[in-house]
């Protein structure tokens, strides 16, 4: 059976070069980085070299990169420490953030009784930045947390504009950049952001490792306690092979950025054209159908099909070897919808099946044709 993997926003395959690099480290560099003997020093040297290389991609110092288990831990570290240690009493965010943000904020509300303000969204899922500017005009200690690229609908936030608004009003700014790191260049000397989170498995690196950027003298403190690893900010023996693998994956992604971006963008454009030719009434959630206003890596589609067929859509796609992600879950047997789509779609569209297709440099035009053919066969039959 033919298989097509169009769920790269969920996770990506690991590049062969990355696997080779990680295997080499696992075989030869097993020493504990905290040990003072030669085995430990070799491991520590690899970690610090990776830290420097990762920092160089963002034009920051190595000391501002802290390794974590992934984006979720990075988000939690920033949010919790900002409230607990920096005196933040108000968080400004949106209701379409990743659950790593929303659930962490819910817990902080219970523990610290902070104020949370949610920004308005338009029907395309764009955030009202004029409202943000108004909310920032206060003496309250504030943290703004807004993701750079929405993982479900692909909308792109003007990261620099938000960072400058926050800086002008003495508010801290954190962004979950899990969907953008490795796909977009971010110069953090040009973008005055305070904190960001990233995860290796979104750019063809290993799972279980990521990093957070913490602007120098951030004042944040550890949320995991134990040893003094990561300058006391993240206890636990470092996963050397994963850190080196993340470094390798990020380096390759940025080295090939223009070529791979053009390839993926062409695939997305072709996919949209083919969908529109087969389904004239198809619609795209958020800005995902706009090549300029959304990331080139994904498209979220609302298909105009009957409720009866909608119930079987994802099963049929999986049966035909197609991996993708569902959006609205009204028709899937789940009791919960996508929290993102619930915020931006009307009741009629929420009853239709929404599917997120996300692409990588390893996908092909033939795979697009196959998926379109399966959709056409299922919907029209």
Query: How far apart are alpha carbons 59 and 101 in whole angstroms?
Result: 26
The residues, ordered by sequence, that sit 6+ positions from 132 with a Cβ below 8 Å of its Cβ are 92, 119, 144, 162, 165
Query: How far apart are alpha carbons 300 and 355 in whole angstroms?
Result: 6
330 given a catalytic annotation? yes
Query: How far apart are alpha carbons 345 and 302 in whole angstroms?
Result: 10
Catalytic residue among 166, 302, 330, 361: 330
Query: How far apart are alpha carbons 250 and 268 in whole angstroms?
Result: 22
Report residue 143 as tokens.
């943290």
Q: Contacts by 373-378 with C-beta closer than 8 Å and gap 24+? A: 374/316, 374/317, 374/320, 374/322, 375/275, 375/278, 375/279, 375/303, 376/278, 378/309, 378/312, 378/313, 378/316
Catalytic residues: 330
């Amino acid at each position: 059976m033919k298989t097509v993997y169009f769920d790269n926003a969920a996770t990506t395959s690991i590049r062969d070069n990355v696997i080779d690099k990680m295997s080499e480290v696992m075989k030869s560099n097993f020493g504990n980085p905290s040990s003072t003997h030669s085995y430990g020093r070799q491991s520590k040297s690899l970690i610090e070299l990776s830290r420097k290389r990762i920092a160089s991609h963002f034009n920051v110092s190595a000391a501002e990169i802290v390794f974590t288990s992934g984006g979720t831990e990075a988000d939690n570290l920033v949010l919790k420490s900002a409230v607990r240690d920096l005196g933040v009493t108000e968080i400004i965010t949106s209701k379409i953030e990743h659950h790593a943000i929303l659930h962490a904020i819910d817990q902080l509300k219970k523990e610290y009784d902070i104020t949370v303000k949610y920004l308005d969204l338009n029907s395309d899922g764009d955030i009202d930045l004029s409202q943000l500017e108004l909310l920032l005009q206060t003496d309250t200690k504030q943290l703004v947390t807004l993701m750079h690229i929405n993982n479900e609908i692909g909308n792109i936030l003007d990261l620099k504009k938000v960072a400058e608004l926050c800086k002008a009003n003495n508010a801290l700014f954190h962004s979950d950049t899990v969907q953008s790191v490795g796909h977009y260049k971010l110069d953090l000397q040009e973008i005055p952001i305070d904190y960001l989170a990233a995860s290796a498995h979104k750019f063809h690196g290993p799972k279980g490792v990521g990093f957070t950027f913490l602007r120098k003298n951030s004042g944040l403190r550890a949320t995991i306690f134990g040893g003094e690893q990561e300058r006391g900010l993240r206890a636990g023996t470092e996963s050397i092979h994963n850190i080196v693998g993340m470094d390798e994956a990020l380096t390759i992604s940025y080295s090939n950025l223009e070529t791979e971006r053009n390839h993926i963008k062409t695939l997305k454009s072709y996919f949209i054209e083919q969908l529109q030719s087969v389904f004239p009434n198809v619609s795209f959630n958020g800005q995902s159908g706009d090549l300029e206003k959304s990331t080139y890596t994904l498209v979220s589609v609302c298909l105009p099909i009957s409720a009866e067929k909608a119930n079987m859509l994802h099963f049929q796609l999986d049966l035909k070897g197609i991996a993708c992600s569902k959006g609205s879950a009204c028709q899937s047997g789940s009791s919960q919808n996508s929290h993102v789509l619930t915020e931006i779609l009307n009741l009629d569209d929420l009853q239709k099946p929404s599917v997120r297709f996300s692409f990588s440099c390893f996908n092909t035009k033939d795979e697009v044709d196959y998926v379109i053919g399966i959709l056409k066969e299922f919907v029209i039959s």
